[in-house]
């Protein structure tokens, strides 16, 4: 049935009646939300079925994006938008006295990720479908996802995120597609003449049950699948699980994302999770591929598996296991196919994230996988001998010093390795993965990250979207690069004022939210200065905090510059539960906030707001209201960043180091429309090479730095003696790993420039306009097209129908 407002209203009332036997006026927001999502789901279902069938009929290559994290956020609004329904539904519900935004708030974020990595995976899911590409997700359906963050006395407390408690209307449990995953035990190889058969003893069998979520493409009728796995006890094994502890072990497998790895039991659990979703995913893919009736020797032509960061690296060994052990392919043939199937993205050069697993843990988790990795390693060394120097082979081989190096496995076992921004890919080629680049230059490529304008502009910022429609038409909604049309309005006062007005409305909305959540009243005249991302020392939330303390002390000491502008500093960040240094920074930010916000002498000049439980739906509220985007990592450390892209798209101006994608942002908007400061990557590397950074000298020789740092330990900032000392020591005694003190002066200077610039509102609005105009250059739709062409070799499905999905 064609979709229109009147028909929808009838359908809505009927569905509410069917589901709950209620009239609109008697229903709760939760009931209204579930009614609406049920209509949405029953309407996209047929497109989902058709898409899936068409992929089968066409017999084209499909790709599977394997990721330990997915961070889709809420799905109601994005499904409505992508189906072409959003505005009509908003209107129809208004007729029924229902506020769509209000009922959308009922939905709990699908928070199965931590930061940029998981959000990128979800942006890619949306873009694959919106580009009409055959691409699906594969991950874990965590019962509690990442923790829910609370602040108590300024400390981060981690609570379970019970996102599934009121049900998840978007998922379908597919019992019939379950597979069995084998963990632990022992394995022997028995010679069967033409192949070796692995015989397993005492292995634990887990039933992996998939839950599928539809990923609806933007007005194109393509609906792909994100498949997340749950773990259960197989009925055949029930008798073996006699105690609650034994049963809990199975539940734990899919309980939380990133279990605490400070103990060995936690580390083992992490590796089990990795194998669990990899094995379940690959088994189901191979089973699906068999329906094509094609030889296994061609699987590389039909299937692509993308290893998102190293967590799914065991995919290489698991596919080899299935091809060799179960399909009885020769090792060489299986290897050829595996390399053709696999591709890998590296997301960071931080050593801590380049996973290494002790051989004994791998043995314990899946002994056959270890054997296969050992054999891959042995053959690699054999093949490279004589061609490369011995130490180079030692550096690149997979197993070294009894550790399995997952990045090495991913690169050796795949045909493509990419970085996520130009600088990052250069660093991979020239430094971190240089040996591999020498061995396999053709495997390396760059794919700068992207974001989806649908969520971050169309849904999150309807105010600005309307202004854009009026100024440049609606073409940008299909093709965000068309936002560049805005450039011709750089001197158009009307458009500049409309952009400024939209920002003001968004600031008002956020100010209300802040007051409701925290009780803090903020003035919308102030610059809204935003830093939202995982809490990590290299991202340097501490540099921001030092700047705040400096401003506070200046005001207290009557040293305010004439062009000083009031600011509201907004933070959103979670620290990993066992990352104590990051938690100390959180505590200090909260204490500085208390100090600043409650000082009558400071008043509206400064406010510090640390919003709890940073997540996608919170980002959607903050980003449209931002004036300043803080992207201040130490140059070379942030692989790309994506909040930098979202914030510019919403008209915030970026304060940035020349790191990650900040460099590409600068290249688009030009140096005049961004605030660049700090060391460059080459300067950072010079310090590394010469070992001549002495942070204590900065403390000792710079009065300003001393004044600010002393405030952390002399009681000026109350209630964080221990944490303040820890921070103080890290910056002075332990040589300030991320050059916070080295960049401080330059940072303060650029912030003064921000103030001067903000005092000229027209100029500020012009800069903002330029940033919006180029924000569309970072569309994940385009990033995904490049993955599709250069890495995966997949092409869009020819779709018959465009536009609004039918009811």
List 77, 181, 269, 420, residue binding ligand GFP (CB under 6 A): 420
Among 641, 651, 724, 776, binds ligand GFP (CB under 6 A): 641
Closest CA relative to residue 278, chosen from 236, 306, 245, 298 = 306
Residue identified by tokens 């739906």 is 617
φ/ψ of residue 461, rounded to 5: -130, 70
Q: What's the rounded Cα separation, in Å, for the pair 655 and 727?
A: 23
Asked whether position 348 contacts ligand GFP by CB under 6 A, the answer is yes
Interface with ligand GFP by CB under 6 A: which range of 54-62, 372-380, 499-507, 634-642? 634-642
Contact present, 258 and 114 (Cβ < 8 Å): yes
Stretch of residues binding ligand GFP (CB under 6 A), selected from 110-118, 247-255, 280-288, 370-378? 110-118
Q: Which is nearer to ligand GFP, 62 or 448 (CB)?
A: 448
Active site residue 503: no
Which of the residues 534, 544, 547, 615 is marked catalytic?
534
Q: Which residues contact 47 (CB under 8 A, 6 or more apart)?
A: 216, 221, 222, 223, 805
Cβ proximity to ligand GFP, 171 vs 659, nearer residue: 659
Answer whether 500's CB lies under 8 Å from 627's CB: no
Rule CB under 6 A: say whether 448 interacts with ligand GFP.
Answer: no
Judged by CB under 6 A, which stretch of 111-119, 468-476, 501-509, 755-763 contacts ligand GFP? 111-119
| Element (DSSP H or E) covering residue 469 | helix 462-472
Q: How many residues comprise the chain?
A: 807
638 binds ligand GFP (CB under 6 A): yes
646 included as an active-site residue: yes
- Tell me if 567 contacts ligand GFP by CB under 6 A: no
Report residue 250 CA to chain centroid gap: 27
Q: Using CA atoms, how far apart are residues 257 and 414, in angstroms rounded to an integer? A: 26
Q: Which is nearer to ligand GFP, 220 or 636 (CB)?
A: 636
Question: Shortest Cβ distance from residue 121 to ligand GFP (Å)?
Answer: 9
The one among 347, 405, 489, 607 contacting ligand GFP by CB under 6 A: 347
Rounded Cα distance between 273 and 266, Å, is: 11
89 lines the binding site for ligand GFP (CB under 6 A)? no
Beta bridge partners of 385: 388
Residue 639 within binding range of ligand GFP, rule CB under 6 A: yes
CA distance 155 to 162: 21
The one catalytic residue in 11, 347, 443, 583 is 347
Site for ligand GFP in 531-560 (CB under 6 A): 533-534
Name the pairing type of β-strands 155-159 and 148-152: antiparallel
Q: Which of 178, 418, 642, 654 binds ligand GFP (CB under 6 A)?
A: 642
Query: Which C-beta is closer to ligand GFP: that of 258 or that of 675?
Result: 258
Candidates 116, 137, 678, 776; binder of ligand GFP (CB under 6 A) is 116
User: Closest by alpha carbon to 420, among 231, 241, 640, 138?
Assistant: 640
Long-range contacts of 267-273 (CB under 8 A, 24+ apart): 267/361, 268/361, 268/364, 268/365, 271/357, 271/361, 271/362, 271/365, 272/183, 272/365, 273/68, 273/140
Which of 424/605 has CB closer to ligand GFP? 424
- Using CB under 6 A as the binding rule, whether residue 125 contacts ligand GFP is answered as no
Cα–Cα distance for residue pair 366/379, rounded to 1 Å: 20
Contacts of 55 (CB under 8 A, 6+ apart): 62, 134, 797
**Does 645 contact ligand GFP by CB under 6 A?**
no
Contact segment (CB under 6 A) with ligand GFP among 1-9, 565-573, 636-644, 745-753 equals 636-644
Is residue 9 annotated as a catalytic residue, yes or no?
no
DSSP 8-state code for residue 183: E
Quick check: is 534 catalytic? yes
CB closer to ligand GFP out of 41 and 536: 536
The site for ligand GFP (CB under 6 A) is made up of 114-117, 120, 347-348, 420, 449, 533-534, 638-642, 660
Q: Which residues are catalytic?
A: 347, 533-534, 539, 642, 646
């Amino acid at each position: 049935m064609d979709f229109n407002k009147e028909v929808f209203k009838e359908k809505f009332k009927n569905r509410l009646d069917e589901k709950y036997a209620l009239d609109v006026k008697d229903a709760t927001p939760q009931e209204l939300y579930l009614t609406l999502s049920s209509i949405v789901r029953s309407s996209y279902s047929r497109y989902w079925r058709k898409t899936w069938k068409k992929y089968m009929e066409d017999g084209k290559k499909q790709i599977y994006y394997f990721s330990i994290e997915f961070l889709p956020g809420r799905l109601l609004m994005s499904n409505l938008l992508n189906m072409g329904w959003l505005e009509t539904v908003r209107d129809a519900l208004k007729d029924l006295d229902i506020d769509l935004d209000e009922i959308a708030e009922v939905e709990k974020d699908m928070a199965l990720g931590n930061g940029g990595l998981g959000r990128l995976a979800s942006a890619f899911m949306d873009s694959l479908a919106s580009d009409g590409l055959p691409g699906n997700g594969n991950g874990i359906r965590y019962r509690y996802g990442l923790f829910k963050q609370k602040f108590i006395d300024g400390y981060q407390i981690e609570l379970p995120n019970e996102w599934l408690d009121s049900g998840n209307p978007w998922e379908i449990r597919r019992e019939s597609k379950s597979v069995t995953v084998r963990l632990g035990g022992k394995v022997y190889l028995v010679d069967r003449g033409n192949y070796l058969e692995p015989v397993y003893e005492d292995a634990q069998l887990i039933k992996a049950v998939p839950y599928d979520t539809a990923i609806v493409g933007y007005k194109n009728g393509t609906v792909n699948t994100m498949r997340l796995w749950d773990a259960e006890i197989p009925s055949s094994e029930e008798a073996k699980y006699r105690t609650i502890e034994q049963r809990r072990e199975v539940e734990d497998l899919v309980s939380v994302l990133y279990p605490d790895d400070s103990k060995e039991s936690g580390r083992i659990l992490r590796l089990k999770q990795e194998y669990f979703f990899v094995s379940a995913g690959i088994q189901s893919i191979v089973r699906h591929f068999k329906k094509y009736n094609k030889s296994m020797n061609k699987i590389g032509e039909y299937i692509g598996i993308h290893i998102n960061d190293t967590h799914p690296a065991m995919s290489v060994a698991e596919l080899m296991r299935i091809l060799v052990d179960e399909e009885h392919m020769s090792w060489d043939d299986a290897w050829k196919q595996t390399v053709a199937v696999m591709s890998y993205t590296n997301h960071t050069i931080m050593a801590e994230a380049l996973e290494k697993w002790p051989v004994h843990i791998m043995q314990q988790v899946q002994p056959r996988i270890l054997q296969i990795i050992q054999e891959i390693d042995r053959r690699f060394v054999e093949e490279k001998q004589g061609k490369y120097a011995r130490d180079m082979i030692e550096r690149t081989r997979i197993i070294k010093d009894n550790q399995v190096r997952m990045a090495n496995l991913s690169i050796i076992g795949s045909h493509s390795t990419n970085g996520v921004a130009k600088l990052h890919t250069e660093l991979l080629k020239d430094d971190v993965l240089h040996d591999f680049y020498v061995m396999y230059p053709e495997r390396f490529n760059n794919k700068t990250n992207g974001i989806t304008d649908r969520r971050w502009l169309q849904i999150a910022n309807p105010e600005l979207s309307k202004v854009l429609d009026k100024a440049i038409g609606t073409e940008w909604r299909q093709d965000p690069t068309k936002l560049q049309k805005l450039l011709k309005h750089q001197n158009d006062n009307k458009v500049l004022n409309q952009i400024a007005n939209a920002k003001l409305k968004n600031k008002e909305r956020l100010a209300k939210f802040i007051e409701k959540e925290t009780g803090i009243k903020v003035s919308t005249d102030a610059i809204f200065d935003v830093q939202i991302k995982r809490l990590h020392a290299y991202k340097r939330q501490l540099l921001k905090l030092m700047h705040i303390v400096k401003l506070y002390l200046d005001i207290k000491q009557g040293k305010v510059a004439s062009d000083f502008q009031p600011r509201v500093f907004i933070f959103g960040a979670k620290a990993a539960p066992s990352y104590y240094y990051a938690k100390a920074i959180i505590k200090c930010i909260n204490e500085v906030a208390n100090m600043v916000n409650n000082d009558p002498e400071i008043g509206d000049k400064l406010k510090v707001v640390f919003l709890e439980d940073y997540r996608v739906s919170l980002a959607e509220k903050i980003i449209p209201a931002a004036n300043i985007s803080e992207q201040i990592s130490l140059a070379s450390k942030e692989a790309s960043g994506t909040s930098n892209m979202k914030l510019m798209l919403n008209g915030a101006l970026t304060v940035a180091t020349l790191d990650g994608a900040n460099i590409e942002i600068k290249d688009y908007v030009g140096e005049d429309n961004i605030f660049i400061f700090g060391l460059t990557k080459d300067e950072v590397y010079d310090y590394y090479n010469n070992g001549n950074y002495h942070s204590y000298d900065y403390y000792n020789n710079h009065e300003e730095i001393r004044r600010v740092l002393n405030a952390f330990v002399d009681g000026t900032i109350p209630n964080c003696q221990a944490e303040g000392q820890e921070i103080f020591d890290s910056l002075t005694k332990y040589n300030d790993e991320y050059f916070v003190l080295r960049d401080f002066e330059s940072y303060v200077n650029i912030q003064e420039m921000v103030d001067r610039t903000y005092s000229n509102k027209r100029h500020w609005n012009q800069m903002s306009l330029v940033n919006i105009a180029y924000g569309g250059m970072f569309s994940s739709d385009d990033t995904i097209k490049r993955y599709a062409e250069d890495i995966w070799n997949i092409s869009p499905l020819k779709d018959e129908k465009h536009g609004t999905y039918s009811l």
